[in-house]
Amino acid sequence: MRLTPGERDRLLIFTTAELARRRLARGLRLNVPEATALIADTVCEAARDGRRLHEAISAGRAALGPENVLPGVPEVMGDVKVEAVFDDGTRLVVVTDPIGAAAAPGTAPGAIELGPEPLTDWPEAVTVSVTNTSTVPISVTSHFHFFEANPRLRFDRAAAYGMRLAIPAGSTIRFGPGEHKAVDLTPMGGDRVAIGFAGLVDGPLDAPGAKEEALRRAIACGYQHEETTEGDRR
């Protein structure tokens, strides 16, 4: 059986979550990896059951209470983030205050206190025109490699290579059936390695020939692609 990296990650979450459930049944309290996996698995299963985003978040937040985890776990685990498959596409789900006893800002070990304003000046941002050619809505999350987004979205995939949506982390953009809209993209940061997603890259984005090979695979697999000139992009 051949599994994509994303499918292997999902099985790892499920296995750890099952271990957590068995330990809970024996009266044991969970550590950070166990609690995180159980909440993430609850979110993924809620999405699989056809529940909406806010319902999946509520299910994840209700999965555990302070009495179910070891002392100090609520203060150090932070938000639980997991990509879940909903009826209208894959979304990055962020469960804030997952145990229901979050520490005050700046008090938990390793805590990061965010500034008051979200980022609006995205580095090296480009604008691409996107058309949803399907009959159902399609949503794309903030940190999905946009080049590998749903094959029914038609846009200049070469221009979107190595890019993600220029929107705050955890948010999404929704494309209605037949809808045409322009979106801003910004380069993916960090080590610039794309693992999982649709499997068109699965490695370093900037490796020699990686872009050309990924575009060849996309076209061969039927991904909608529409070349544009430099003047058509901002």
Per residue in 146-161, pLDDT tens? 999 999 999 999 999 9
Q: Which residues, in sequence order, are bridge partners of residue 181? A: 130
Residue 102 banded pLDDT, cuts 50, 70, 90: very low
The overall pTM is greater than 0.85: no
Among residues of the chain, what percentage have pLDDT more than 90? Answer: 68
Structure confidence by residue, pLDDT tens digits, 192-209: 999 888 889 989 999 999
